[in-house]
Amino acid sequence: MKFTCFATLVLCGAAAFGPLALAAQPQTSGETYPTKPIRLVVPFAPGGPMDILSRAIGEKLTARLGQQVVVDNRGGASGTIGAEIAARAAPDGYTLLAGHSGTHVVNVTLFPKLRYDPIKDFAPITLTATLPMALVVHPSLPARSAAELVALAKAKPGEINFATASSGGPTHMAAVLFKTMAGINIVHIPYNGNAAALNDVIAGRVQMMFSNLLTSTPLARAGKLRILAISTGKRTQQAPELPTIAEAAIPGYDYTPWFAMFAPAATPRPIVQLLNIEIKHALENPEMRQRFGREAVDLTTSTPEELGALIRSEIPKWRKVVKESGAKVG
Protein backbone atom coordinates (compact mmCIF):
# COMPACT_ATOMS: atom_id res chain seq x y z
CA MET A 1 0.00 0.00 0.00
CA LYS A 2 1.38 3.45 -0.91
CA PHE A 3 0.19 6.85 0.21
CA THR A 4 0.20 10.01 -1.91
CA CYS A 5 1.85 13.09 -0.42
CA PHE A 6 0.05 16.42 -0.78
CA ALA A 7 1.16 19.90 0.23
CA THR A 8 -1.40 20.12 3.01
CA LEU A 9 -1.00 17.88 6.05
CA VAL A 10 -4.17 15.83 5.98
CA LEU A 11 -4.85 12.25 6.95
CA CYS A 12 -7.71 10.67 5.00
CA GLY A 13 -9.30 7.30 5.65
CA ALA A 14 -12.40 5.40 6.59
CA ALA A 15 -12.08 2.63 9.17
CA ALA A 16 -9.33 2.58 11.77
CA PHE A 17 -7.45 -0.19 10.01
CA GLY A 18 -8.72 0.39 6.49
CA PRO A 19 -6.81 2.04 3.64
CA LEU A 20 -5.42 5.42 4.63
CA ALA A 21 -4.05 8.19 2.46
CA LEU A 22 -0.99 9.83 3.95
CA ALA A 23 -0.44 13.51 3.28
CA ALA A 24 3.08 14.59 4.19
CA GLN A 25 5.45 17.22 2.95
CA PRO A 26 6.77 15.77 -0.33
CA GLN A 27 10.49 15.39 -0.71
CA THR A 28 10.15 15.51 -4.45
CA SER A 29 7.17 16.32 -6.61
CA GLY A 30 4.70 13.45 -6.67
CA GLU A 31 6.69 11.28 -4.23
CA THR A 32 4.81 8.77 -2.13
CA TYR A 33 5.69 7.14 1.19
CA PRO A 34 7.16 4.65 1.28
CA THR A 35 8.97 4.48 -2.04
CA LYS A 36 11.90 2.35 -0.89
CA PRO A 37 12.77 -0.23 1.79
CA ILE A 38 12.49 0.78 5.44
CA ARG A 39 15.31 -0.09 7.82
CA LEU A 40 14.24 -1.30 11.25
CA VAL A 41 17.21 -1.09 13.62
CA VAL A 42 17.14 -3.71 16.37
CA PRO A 43 19.84 -2.73 18.88
CA PHE A 44 20.47 -6.30 20.04
CA ALA A 45 21.74 -9.56 18.61
CA PRO A 46 19.47 -11.87 16.60
CA GLY A 47 17.46 -14.51 18.43
CA GLY A 48 16.14 -12.52 21.37
CA PRO A 49 12.52 -11.51 21.96
CA MET A 50 12.93 -8.03 20.51
CA ASP A 51 14.45 -9.47 17.34
CA ILE A 52 11.71 -12.09 17.01
CA LEU A 53 8.90 -9.58 17.54
CA SER A 54 10.52 -6.98 15.27
CA ARG A 55 10.82 -9.43 12.41
CA ALA A 56 7.19 -10.46 12.80
CA ILE A 57 6.06 -6.81 12.76
CA GLY A 58 8.35 -6.15 9.79
CA GLU A 59 6.71 -8.93 7.78
CA LYS A 60 3.25 -7.48 8.39
CA LEU A 61 4.37 -3.94 7.55
CA THR A 62 6.00 -5.15 4.34
CA ALA A 63 2.70 -6.63 3.20
CA ARG A 64 0.72 -3.54 4.18
CA LEU A 65 3.06 -0.83 2.90
CA GLY A 66 4.29 -2.51 -0.26
CA GLN A 67 7.95 -1.93 0.61
CA GLN A 68 10.37 -4.29 2.33
CA VAL A 69 11.03 -3.68 6.01
CA VAL A 70 14.60 -4.82 6.60
CA VAL A 71 15.71 -5.71 10.14
CA ASP A 72 19.19 -4.37 10.87
CA ASN A 73 20.68 -5.91 14.03
CA ARG A 74 23.15 -3.47 15.61
CA GLY A 75 23.86 -5.02 18.98
CA GLY A 76 26.36 -3.91 21.59
CA ALA A 77 26.79 -1.54 24.53
CA SER A 78 23.39 -2.33 26.06
CA GLY A 79 21.54 -1.21 22.96
CA THR A 80 23.20 2.19 22.82
CA ILE A 81 24.99 1.54 19.51
CA GLY A 82 21.84 0.75 17.59
CA ALA A 83 19.84 3.48 19.33
CA GLU A 84 22.44 6.09 18.42
CA ILE A 85 22.46 4.94 14.79
CA ALA A 86 18.70 5.40 14.62
CA ALA A 87 18.83 8.74 16.43
CA ARG A 88 21.32 10.12 13.89
CA ALA A 89 19.45 8.81 10.81
CA ALA A 90 17.55 11.10 8.47
CA PRO A 91 14.06 11.86 9.86
CA ASP A 92 12.27 10.70 6.73
CA GLY A 93 10.50 7.56 7.88
CA TYR A 94 13.02 5.17 6.33
CA THR A 95 14.85 4.34 9.56
CA LEU A 96 12.98 3.09 12.61
CA LEU A 97 14.16 1.78 15.97
CA ALA A 98 12.83 -1.11 18.03
CA GLY A 99 13.60 0.20 21.50
CA HIS A 100 12.63 -0.84 24.99
CA SER A 101 12.65 0.21 28.60
CA GLY A 102 16.42 -0.31 28.69
CA THR A 103 17.39 1.83 25.70
CA HIS A 104 15.02 4.66 26.60
CA VAL A 105 14.86 4.61 30.40
CA VAL A 106 17.60 2.68 32.20
CA ASN A 107 20.52 3.67 29.96
CA VAL A 108 20.09 7.30 30.95
CA THR A 109 21.50 6.42 34.37
CA LEU A 110 23.80 3.53 33.44
CA PHE A 111 25.67 5.58 30.83
CA PRO A 112 26.77 8.99 32.19
CA LYS A 113 27.95 9.96 28.69
CA LEU A 114 25.06 8.57 26.70
CA ARG A 115 25.40 9.72 23.10
CA TYR A 116 21.68 10.13 22.47
CA ASP A 117 18.78 11.67 24.34
CA PRO A 118 15.85 9.22 24.58
CA ILE A 119 13.38 12.09 24.66
CA LYS A 120 14.85 14.78 22.41
CA ASP A 121 16.33 12.50 19.71
CA PHE A 122 13.30 10.29 19.02
CA ALA A 123 9.72 10.54 17.87
CA PRO A 124 7.71 7.91 19.77
CA ILE A 125 5.43 5.80 17.56
CA THR A 126 3.78 3.15 19.73
CA LEU A 127 4.29 0.53 22.39
CA THR A 128 4.46 -2.95 20.89
CA ALA A 129 4.59 -5.40 23.80
CA THR A 130 5.08 -6.06 27.46
CA LEU A 131 6.33 -9.38 28.72
CA PRO A 132 6.94 -11.10 32.04
CA MET A 133 10.47 -12.14 32.75
CA ALA A 134 11.04 -15.73 33.85
CA LEU A 135 13.45 -16.44 36.69
CA VAL A 136 15.29 -19.49 35.35
CA VAL A 137 18.05 -21.66 36.80
CA HIS A 138 20.14 -24.57 35.61
CA PRO A 139 18.45 -27.85 36.67
CA SER A 140 21.48 -28.81 38.75
CA LEU A 141 21.04 -25.82 41.08
CA PRO A 142 19.49 -27.06 44.37
CA ALA A 143 16.67 -24.51 44.33
CA ARG A 144 13.17 -25.44 43.21
CA SER A 145 11.49 -22.16 44.15
CA ALA A 146 12.34 -18.48 44.28
CA ALA A 147 12.39 -18.65 48.09
CA GLU A 148 14.88 -21.52 48.02
CA LEU A 149 17.05 -19.55 45.56
CA VAL A 150 17.10 -16.54 47.88
CA ALA A 151 18.01 -18.77 50.83
CA LEU A 152 20.79 -20.43 48.83
CA ALA A 153 22.20 -17.07 47.74
CA LYS A 154 22.22 -15.84 51.33
CA ALA A 155 24.01 -19.00 52.43
CA LYS A 156 26.60 -18.64 49.65
CA PRO A 157 27.16 -14.89 49.09
CA GLY A 158 29.03 -14.11 45.89
CA GLU A 159 28.98 -17.73 44.69
CA ILE A 160 25.93 -17.61 42.41
CA ASN A 161 26.28 -15.93 39.02
CA PHE A 162 23.48 -14.50 36.92
CA ALA A 163 23.64 -14.00 33.15
CA THR A 164 22.10 -11.09 31.28
CA ALA A 165 21.50 -10.39 27.60
CA SER A 166 23.15 -6.99 28.10
CA SER A 167 23.89 -4.48 30.80
CA GLY A 168 20.93 -2.21 31.35
CA GLY A 169 18.38 -4.31 29.49
CA PRO A 170 15.32 -6.07 30.94
CA THR A 171 17.26 -9.22 31.86
CA HIS A 172 19.68 -7.08 33.87
CA MET A 173 17.15 -4.77 35.53
CA ALA A 174 14.93 -7.68 36.60
CA ALA A 175 17.95 -9.21 38.36
CA VAL A 176 19.05 -5.88 39.85
CA LEU A 177 15.63 -5.41 41.41
CA PHE A 178 15.62 -9.03 42.62
CA LYS A 179 19.09 -8.72 44.13
CA THR A 180 18.34 -5.40 45.81
CA MET A 181 14.96 -6.33 47.27
CA ALA A 182 16.14 -9.77 48.45
CA GLY A 183 19.33 -8.38 49.98
CA ILE A 184 21.56 -10.99 48.34
CA ASN A 185 25.00 -10.94 46.74
CA ILE A 186 24.89 -12.51 43.27
CA VAL A 187 27.43 -11.80 40.52
CA HIS A 188 26.56 -10.23 37.16
CA ILE A 189 27.86 -11.92 33.98
CA PRO A 190 26.81 -9.80 30.94
CA TYR A 191 26.52 -11.26 27.43
CA ASN A 192 25.91 -9.88 23.97
CA GLY A 193 22.38 -11.11 23.37
CA ASN A 194 19.76 -13.27 25.03
CA ALA A 195 20.68 -16.40 23.07
CA ALA A 196 24.31 -16.33 24.21
CA ALA A 197 23.30 -15.80 27.84
CA LEU A 198 20.75 -18.62 27.78
CA ASN A 199 23.24 -20.98 26.15
CA ASP A 200 25.63 -20.58 29.07
CA VAL A 201 22.85 -21.14 31.61
CA ILE A 202 21.80 -24.27 29.72
CA ALA A 203 25.43 -25.43 29.72
CA GLY A 204 25.69 -24.81 33.46
CA ARG A 205 28.45 -22.23 33.17
CA VAL A 206 26.14 -19.68 34.81
CA GLN A 207 23.56 -20.71 37.39
CA MET A 208 20.64 -18.36 36.78
CA MET A 209 19.17 -15.50 34.79
CA PHE A 210 15.99 -13.60 34.07
CA SER A 211 14.94 -14.56 30.58
CA ASN A 212 11.56 -14.29 28.90
CA LEU A 213 8.81 -16.83 28.50
CA LEU A 214 9.01 -16.52 24.72
CA THR A 215 12.39 -18.26 24.60
CA SER A 216 12.68 -19.96 28.01
CA THR A 217 9.39 -21.90 28.04
CA PRO A 218 10.38 -24.38 25.28
CA LEU A 219 13.74 -24.92 27.00
CA ALA A 220 12.04 -25.60 30.32
CA ARG A 221 9.70 -28.09 28.68
CA ALA A 222 12.74 -29.88 27.28
CA GLY A 223 14.29 -30.08 30.75
CA LYS A 224 17.18 -27.77 29.92
CA LEU A 225 16.10 -25.05 32.35
CA ARG A 226 13.93 -24.75 35.43
CA ILE A 227 11.53 -21.81 35.70
CA LEU A 228 11.03 -20.76 39.32
CA ALA A 229 8.76 -17.73 39.00
CA ILE A 230 7.79 -14.75 36.86
CA SER A 231 8.62 -11.09 37.37
CA THR A 232 5.22 -9.43 36.98
CA GLY A 233 2.91 -8.50 39.84
CA LYS A 234 0.21 -10.93 38.68
CA ARG A 235 0.34 -14.43 37.26
CA THR A 236 0.13 -14.72 33.52
CA GLN A 237 -2.86 -16.38 31.88
CA GLN A 238 -0.58 -18.30 29.53
CA ALA A 239 1.28 -19.99 32.41
CA PRO A 240 -0.97 -19.72 35.47
CA GLU A 241 0.95 -22.45 37.27
CA LEU A 242 4.00 -20.19 37.62
CA PRO A 243 4.00 -18.10 40.81
CA THR A 244 5.10 -14.50 40.84
CA ILE A 245 8.29 -13.58 42.64
CA ALA A 246 6.17 -11.35 44.88
CA GLU A 247 4.04 -14.23 46.14
CA ALA A 248 6.85 -16.79 46.22
CA ALA A 249 9.71 -14.91 47.82
CA ILE A 250 9.80 -11.10 47.74
CA PRO A 251 6.57 -9.22 48.53
CA GLY A 252 6.16 -6.13 46.38
CA TYR A 253 8.44 -7.30 43.58
CA ASP A 254 7.04 -6.31 40.17
CA TYR A 255 8.94 -5.83 36.93
CA THR A 256 7.26 -5.67 33.53
CA PRO A 257 9.55 -4.50 30.71
CA TRP A 258 8.11 -3.02 27.53
CA PHE A 259 9.06 -2.82 23.86
CA ALA A 260 8.23 0.07 21.53
CA MET A 261 8.83 1.58 18.10
CA PHE A 262 10.52 4.92 17.47
CA ALA A 263 11.56 7.15 14.58
CA PRO A 264 14.24 9.84 14.61
CA ALA A 265 13.11 13.17 16.00
CA ALA A 266 11.62 15.55 13.40
CA THR A 267 10.14 12.69 11.38
CA PRO A 268 7.02 14.24 9.79
CA ARG A 269 3.98 13.84 11.99
CA PRO A 270 1.84 12.25 9.22
CA ILE A 271 4.46 9.52 8.77
CA VAL A 272 4.53 8.86 12.52
CA GLN A 273 0.72 8.67 12.54
CA LEU A 274 0.69 6.29 9.59
CA LEU A 275 3.26 4.01 11.20
CA ASN A 276 1.33 4.09 14.47
CA ILE A 277 -1.81 2.90 12.66
CA GLU A 278 -0.03 0.25 10.59
CA ILE A 279 1.95 -1.19 13.51
CA LYS A 280 -1.26 -1.35 15.55
CA HIS A 281 -2.89 -3.18 12.65
CA ALA A 282 -0.01 -5.68 12.60
CA LEU A 283 -0.26 -6.29 16.34
CA GLU A 284 -4.03 -6.83 16.17
CA ASN A 285 -3.57 -9.61 13.61
CA PRO A 286 -5.08 -12.82 15.07
CA GLU A 287 -2.11 -14.88 13.89
CA MET A 288 0.28 -12.54 15.71
CA ARG A 289 -1.79 -12.59 18.90
CA GLN A 290 -2.02 -16.37 18.89
CA ARG A 291 1.68 -16.82 18.15
CA PHE A 292 2.99 -14.49 20.85
CA GLY A 293 0.19 -15.12 23.31
CA ARG A 294 1.29 -18.75 23.62
CA GLU A 295 4.52 -17.53 25.17
CA ALA A 296 2.98 -14.86 27.41
CA VAL A 297 3.99 -11.89 25.31
CA ASP A 298 1.32 -9.24 25.70
CA LEU A 299 1.06 -7.36 22.42
CA THR A 300 -0.03 -3.84 23.27
CA THR A 301 -0.15 -0.42 21.63
CA SER A 302 -0.33 3.24 22.55
CA THR A 303 -0.49 6.67 21.06
CA PRO A 304 2.84 8.45 20.47
CA GLU A 305 1.93 10.81 23.31
CA GLU A 306 1.27 7.97 25.75
CA LEU A 307 4.61 6.37 24.94
CA GLY A 308 6.42 9.66 25.43
CA ALA A 309 4.73 10.18 28.81
CA LEU A 310 5.67 6.65 29.90
CA ILE A 311 9.35 7.28 29.18
CA ARG A 312 9.37 10.59 31.05
CA SER A 313 7.74 9.00 34.08
CA GLU A 314 10.02 5.95 34.24
CA ILE A 315 13.41 7.66 33.91
CA PRO A 316 13.42 9.06 37.49
CA LYS A 317 11.94 5.84 38.89
CA TRP A 318 14.70 3.65 37.48
CA ARG A 319 17.40 6.23 38.17
CA LYS A 320 16.71 5.63 41.87
CA VAL A 321 16.77 1.81 41.51
CA VAL A 322 20.00 1.79 39.51
CA LYS A 323 21.83 4.16 41.85
CA GLU A 324 20.74 2.30 44.99
CA SER A 325 21.78 -1.06 43.52
CA GLY A 326 25.19 0.12 42.35
CA ALA A 327 24.58 -1.50 38.95
CA LYS A 328 27.16 -0.65 36.31
CA VAL A 329 27.67 -1.39 32.65
CA GLY A 330 30.20 -3.88 31.45
310 in a structural domain: yes
If asked whether residues 103 and 191 sit together in one domain, one would say no
Kindly report the CATH number assigned to the domain that includes residue 52. Answer: 3.40.190.150
- Picking from 193, 222, 248, the residue at the C-terminal end of a domain is 248
The answer to whether residue 77 is domain-embedded is yes
Q: Does 106 share its domain with 10?
A: yes
Q: Is residue 188 domain-shared with residue 93, that is, in the same domain?
A: no
Tell me, rounded to whole angstroms, the distance of Cα 301 from its chain centroid.
13
Residue 330 lies inside a defined structural domain of this protein: no
Q: How many helices (H) and strands (E) does the chain have?
A: 12, 15
Axis crossing angle, helix 213-221 with helix 49-65, rounded to the nearest 10: 120
Judged by DSSP in three states, 98 sits in strand
Domain interval for residue 149: 133-248
Q: Are residues 126 and 271 in the same domain?
A: yes
Give residue-wise pLDDT tens across range 40-94.
999 988 888 889 999 999 999 999 999 999 999 998 888 999 999 999 999 999 9
Give me the pLDDT at residue 31, please: 62
Domain annotation covers residue 203 = yes
Q: Are residues 291 and 234 in the same domain?
A: no
Asked if residues 103 and 79 have their Cβ atoms less than 8 Å apart, the reply is yes
Domain end residue (candidates: 214, 248, 282): 248
19 and 115, same structural domain?
Answer: yes
Q: Does the global pTM surpass 0.75?
A: yes
Would you say residue 223 lies in a domain?
Answer: yes
Contact 259, 98 (CB under 8 A): yes
Q: Are 10 and 121 contained in the same domain?
A: yes
> For residue 253, is it within any domain?
no
pLDDT by residue for the chain (330 residues), tens digit each? 433 332 333 333 333 334 344 434 434 334 689 999 999 999 988 888 889 999 999 999 999 999 999 999 998 888 999 999 999 999 999 999 999 998 999 999 989 899 999 999 999 999 999 988 999 999 999 999 999 999 999 999 999 999 998 777 788 999 999 999 999 999 999 998 888 999 999 999 999 999 988 778 889 999 999 999 999 999 988 789 999 999 999 999 999 889 999 999 999 999 999 999 999 999 999 999 998 887 778 899 999 999 999 999 999 988 988 888 777 765
Encode pLDDT of 148-176 as tens digits: 999 999 999 999 999 998 777 788 999 99
Is the omega angle on the peptide bond into residue 304 within 30 degrees of 0, that is, cis?
no
Give the number of domains in the chain: 2
Same-domain status, 112 and 149: no
* 194, 314: one domain: no
